[in-house]
Amino acid sequence: MASPKLVVDAIKRRCADVEPRFDGYQNELLKAVVDILSRERDHRISPTNVQQKVQDHVEVLGDQVWQRSGGKA
């Protein structure tokens, strides 16, 4: 089940409030959060290595910050 619309709307609003580390950062952040929640939902249905998956998503986002922000973050 996808997140309720309200949850997605709330994620969008919060992402819009975050400091843009680079152009398009807020969209990438939104995608990362939505993906993380999907992994959590999957984990509830069928156990997975959700911690690692969450870390992977965060690191991917972080690497984008590292590469695209010139190391200013």
Asked if residue 46 binds other proteins (CB under 8 A), the reply is: yes
Binding-site string for other proteins from residue 51 to residue 70, where x marks contact by CB under 8 A and - marks none = x--xx--xx-xxxxxx--x-
Asked if residue 6 binds other proteins (CB under 8 A), the reply is: yes
Asked if residue 13 binds other proteins (CB under 8 A), the reply is: yes
Integer CA distances (angstroms), 67 to 18, 25, 45, 54, in order:
18, 12, 35, 20
Largest CA distance in the chain: 40
Asked if residue 17 binds other proteins (CB under 8 A), the reply is: yes
Q: How far is the CB of 50 from other proteins (least distance, A)?
A: 6
Asked if residue 10 binds other proteins (CB under 8 A), the reply is: yes
